[in-house]
Amino acid sequence: MMPATTGGPTLFLSTVQTPLGPMIVASHDGGVCALEFENGWPRTERRLRRGARELESRSAADPCGVAQCVEAYFAGELTAFDRLPLDPPGTEFDRRVWDALREIPPGSTITYRELARRVGCNRGFRAVGAANGRNPLAIAVPCHRVVGASGDLRGYAGGLERKRWLLAHEARFQ
């Protein structure tokens, strides 16, 4: 299970370039708290600030190895994020959902209902969907692998075009 974030360490911000646009990284010495596409950053930043964290922008060659993992993922090493130290802020339930997301194999999809079943919340697919939507670690915690009951693409903070692209990217390397 991902560790629970305690207190409010200073988070350092940096930007990583991807084929889908820039991503903002929030990290501290214990790991990566957020990895979000630039357009979704304001929402994630508000959540981080609510956690009484101080945010400080700094240039870093590769905070916690994020840039290297992002580059490897887009080059086809779909498990690159497995080696990344993650420390996202969230409730115990959120972290259970995010841990379950990390168990979905690259190139695969599951439904919200199946995700709810996997976290022991059989009828709680809406709650699971909400926790999925609060995921601050786009791509690293692969919420893009969750689809609607009929297999249709549903909600993705980075936009459905990015979700479609990510799923096609992973399919190419399976």
Which residue bears the tokens 């200073």? 10
Tell the burial category of 126 from Cβ atoms under 10 Å away from its Cβ (0-12, 13-18, 19+). Answer: exposed
Tell the burial category of 174 from Cβ atoms under 10 Å away from its Cβ (0-12, 13-18, 19+). Answer: exposed
Residues annotated as catalytic (active site), given as ranges: 143
Measured N-to-C along each axis, helices 125-133 and 92-102 cross at an angle, to the nearest 10 degrees, of 80
Integer Rg of the chain from CA: 15
Give how far Cα 147 sits from Cα of 32, 139, 142, 153, 164, Å: 26, 15, 12, 5, 11
